[in-house]
Amino acid sequence: MDGELPKGTARRFMKMASLPVGFAGRTAFGLARRLAGGAEDLIRTEIEERTARQLFAVLGELKGGAQKFGQVLSVMESALPEHLVRPYRAALTSLQESGPALPVRTVHAVLREHLGEDWRESLPEFGDKPVATASIGQVHRGRWRDGREVAVKVQHPGAAEALASDFGHLIRISPIIDRVTGGELNVKEIVAELRARTIEELDYLHEAESQAVFAKAFADDPDFLVPAVVEATERVLVTEWLDGTPASAVMADGTQEDRNRLGLLLARFNHAGPNRCGLLHADPHPGNFRLTGDGRLGVLDFGAVVRLPDGPIPSMGQMIRACVDGDPERMVALMREAGLLRERRGGRSGGSGEPEDWGWLTRSLEMLVQPLVEEVFTFDRAWLREAVRRATLTKDAEVLRERMVMLPEHVQLQRVWMAEMAMLSQLGARIPYRAEAVAGMPGFAAEAAAPDAAAPDAVAPGAVAPSRDS
């Protein structure tokens, strides 16, 4: 079918293959410059920036898994080296809401196949130009037969095959992406998790079921708006239309008041989903959120969810609280009970008879939990970069990776949490993040008394994270 995603074709492969070829050429160019007496630091920076420019350009031209990975980078850009990201921030942001559109004839063919030859009777008004294009589908505005304004999401033909091809290529070029991102993202881990999650997103019936659960749980809510599902098939999803300012626009041009409001609602929604309906929205990037005219958070795209039928995991709140309180021994006991800790060789004392020093556990996470220490916290890119560095690139972080057992559900929760931190940092939001955790995270508030509420910048007694100007 014309307009299908390139699958395993030479054209698609050549775009992905151009990355290592280009990197090799630039490295050779750099070697020649060094032999000629060029400044090594300047040459290295030039190579990295040229490689980043090509990487972001290729990801922006492709759909499927390549663009999906690009969307992850667009959310996590706050944690990437500033000199690499600054020139491409606008391009990365565009990946959150746009990509190449399908030809109109292809879109109509998908609608005929899934809504019937008489699809125009169901959609008497249909805008052929998409209002948004994403990694595996695109969205059109229309009017349903009952008069409701609707969003019509049409899946790109060949999406499944393209995703399989892309993820394989991304794994092969992961060393180059690691170089571009400064080694601060585990590319292979991200791609593997994306592969597993995106398989679910290919089934719009599955997405419709999840969205209907959220829409019912948040009906008439003063803080949140989830559009109702109107019609669904495997490759076409029709929902009520949602007006509002995209989160990316708030990040770029919003007032501080709007940034704070959006940030507060993002944090609140991540707690509300598991508590109200046993589901966590698991695709947190700016393209999926709107700030509505009445100040609510509009939420889109429920293709990826984490199922928590019993609600939030209480032990997670207890462990995070122990870290906030600077109590590694309590954290270790909770991790052992949950099966999340590998003992070091030689047993709990390492065979030396000496008790283990667990300081590495809280030191590696101290900045990441800092928003839960202060009553009001200001998120920013500098904080996130340092927090990620300490959690991934230090000796303490290396020990954490060796000793911690990551269960699949915990990997998903960690990814959503990190994406939330990245979005809040992009917003520069100043919010009472700790209060949201107390209200929405079982086990967090029960472990110890909160700081004095009369002191907005108070720090919990014994907390490991230092205070910061906010």
Give residue-wise pLDDT tens across range 216-233: 999 999 999 999 999 999
CB 375 within 8 Å of CB 314 = no
pLDDT of the residue at 290: 96
- Mention every residue, 6+ apart, whose C-beta is less than 8 A from residue 368: 387, 390, 391, 421
The H-or-E segment that residue 85 falls in is helix 82-85
Q: For the CA atoms of 259, 264, 269, 272, what is the dihedral angle to 10 degrees? A: -170
Give 103's DSSP letter. P
Residues 6+ apart with CB under 8 A from 159: 5, 63, 64, 136, 137, 202
Q: What pLDDT does 446 receive?
A: 61
Distance CA 132, CA 155 (A): 12
CA angle (118 as vertex; 117, 121 as ends), nearest 5:
160
What lies within 8 Å, CB to CB, of 294 at 6+ separation is none
Least Cα distance to 331 among 426, 424, 257, 400 occurs for 400
Q: pLDDT tens digit string along 42-57?
A: 334 443 455 555 555 5
Burial-class residue 375 by CB neighbours within 10 Å (0-12, 13-18, 19+). Answer: buried
pLDDT score at 330: 92
Query: CA-CA distance, 465 to 366, in Å (whole number)?
Result: 5
Phi, psi of 46, deg, nearest 5 = -65, -45
Q: How many residues does the chain have?
A: 470
Mark the ranges of the chain whose per-residue pLDDT is less than 70. 1-100, 135, 162-199, 345-355, 408, 446-470
Q: What pLDDT is attached to residue 397? A: 84
Nearest to 62 by CA among 108, 131, 14: 14
Torsion of CA 202, 203, 208, 213, to 10 degrees: -90
Residues 6+ apart with CB under 8 A from 111: 119, 123, 126, 152, 154, 236
pLDDT of residue 166: 60
Q: Using an 8 Å Cβ cutoff, are 282 and 304 in contact?
A: yes
Q: Are the beta carbons of 45 and 82 closer than 8 angstroms? A: no
The angle subtended at Cα 130 by Cα 124 and Cα 136, nearest 5°, is: 115
Q: Can you give the pLDDT at residue 170?
A: 60
Q: What is the pLDDT of residue 314?
A: 83
Q: What are phi and psi of 457, to 5 degrees?
A: -105, 20
Helix or strand run (H / E) with residue 230: strand 229-232
Query: Which token pair is 313?
Result: 């995991």
Integer Rg of the chain from CA: 23
- pLDDT score for 289: 96
Least Cα distance to 274 among 232, 307, 236 occurs for 307
**208 CB contacts (<8 Å, ≥6 apart)?**
229, 232, 237
Looking at residue 424, its amino acid is L
Contacts of 265 (CB under 8 A, 6+ apart): 223, 224, 291, 296, 297
